Every structure is written in structure tokens, then in C-alpha cells.
Amino acid sequence: MFKKLLGLAPKLESDGSYSPSKIALRLATVDKTDYEDVAYQKYTGSRSKILVIFTENKNLTMKNGKMFSTGNHPVEALVPMLHLKNAGFEFDVFTPSGKPVVFEMWAFPEKDERVKELYNNLLSHFKHPKKLQDFGYQDQDYSAVFIPGGHGAMNGIPDDRNVGKILRWAHTKDLFTISLCHGPGAFLATTLDGEDFLYKGYNMTVFPDSVDNRTPMIGYLPGKMPVGLSEKLQSLGANLMNQKMDDSVCLDRKLITGASPLASNNLGKLAAETLLKNL
């Protein structure tokens, strides 16, 4: 009751899940992003498609049994996609089973017209995505795989064999893999069925467990995460380049990563510039 009076209590939703508290929303979300409209020299080659893997799951169960109302973070998805679109790339939208893409709409930047425009332009694809199991591995038109962040990326994606298969296919085909925040949870799918971790020895940026562990104090998460992502990646041999929730990004070979929502603009610029330079 005391937390509720102070605006620190997570908000109970109609389905029994919890979205962030008023204080958490004020501290951790924005109504307008820091997106920079860069004038790229547009890509005109034959590999213009980017495969985007979204989660279709809304509720993530915390260690205490409470459900967090999550999904894909709209800023982490749409700001990098804006940069890639402006650099001449297009998107193939996938979810594991073809169910609609789920966004953390409580984090949507309502005053950002560029983000809203891209969201509306892609809305039919978000409502009717392709199934991962139907992906055609013979398609040669792809340049990269992109896994947006949001805590929802930890829900089903790390346990999906098709995710692991696609990441290994991208690695074999020398494609770029792009992700940020909790999106690198998808990398855990490469260890399914006893396979070696695909990104052992890679430098990467990812959302720190230390921050996730503190967010229940302000009512962002309704409890502690079921799995500590940064600790798990590090235990598998990843070299983590950030310790804070910041705007840092990292390029290591064909892997491009960002640390948090604050890195969305930097990640988009780095991804667009890197693809244009290397394709």
C-alpha cells in the first residue's frame, strides 16, 4: 500500500500481469526518442532484406511467480529499423509460430512522429508475421538478422530451436547479426541440443543483470528475472563490454550489439553504416 501511494507499485493489468509503476515509466521511458535522421547513401545491391525475429509472448513469469507485461521494446525495435530503412534495407518480420508481434506499448514514444510512421507502415506485418519454421534457408537476399530487445525477448526465443538454427545459418552465410538489450537472449538458442555456444569469445554489449535486479525497487519489474542474461552469456564465454545501462554499442566480426534502450540510436547508426560499408 505504501509503494502504491508513492507510485512505486507495478500496475496490475486485466490479465493478471503487471506493467511498470508510474515512477518507473517516468524514469525509464520517453515520449520522443533521440533518433537522428542520417542521410545514408542507400544500399542498391541484391541483399536488401533483413530478417527480424520478434517475440509473440506478452507475459514473462518472474522468480516470485508474478507476470511481467512485456514483449518487444518499441524503441529498441523501431529506432534501429528506421536507420536501416533509411539506408535502403527492407524487413521480413517473423515470430516463432506466426502469432502477432507483441510490443511493450506502455513504452511507446507517442510524440515521436518518425517512430509512429514506421510502426504504422509495418503494422500489417506485425499483425501477420511469418513463421520461423517456414523460413526458406535457400533465400540469398538477406544481409542480416535483427533481434530487438525488450524483456519479452527472454520469453520463448532462447528456447526456440528455429532461432538457433537461423542464427547458425546466418553465421555460416557470413551475414550480420544485430541485437540489443535483452535481445541477445536469443543467442542462448545456439546452445540447444548440446551445441557449442556460437558466440564464445565474442565481445558484446547487453543489459546488465545488476540493473534488472534493482528495478523491482521502483516497480519496473514485479520481481526478479527468472534468468540473469548477462551472467549467463558471460558463463558461456561472451566478453561483456558494458557494466551499466548505457548507450554503448559493440561491433565484433559480424555481430553488432547494444547495451540498452539508450543504445537504440547508436545501434541503428552502427548497423546501417557497417552494412553499407561491407556489403
Q: What does each C-alpha distance from 231 to 210, 225, 227, 239 come to in angstroms?
A: 10, 12, 9, 11
Question: Among this protein's residues, is 250 annotated catalytic?
Answer: no
3-state helix, strand, coil in the chain (%, to 5): 40, 15, 45
- Per the listing, cell 537522428 goes with 36
From the list 181, 186, 188, 238, the catalytic residue is 181
Give the angle subtended at the CA of 198 by the CAs of 193 and 204, to the nearest 5°.
135
Nearest C-alpha neighbor of 171 from the set 196, 149, 199: 199
Pairing between strand 130-131 and 249-252? Answer: unpaired
Cell digits of residue 187:
543467442
251 CB burial (10 A radius; 0-12, 13-18, 19+):
middle
Contact 106, 19 (CB under 8 A): yes
The residues annotated as belonging to the active site are 181
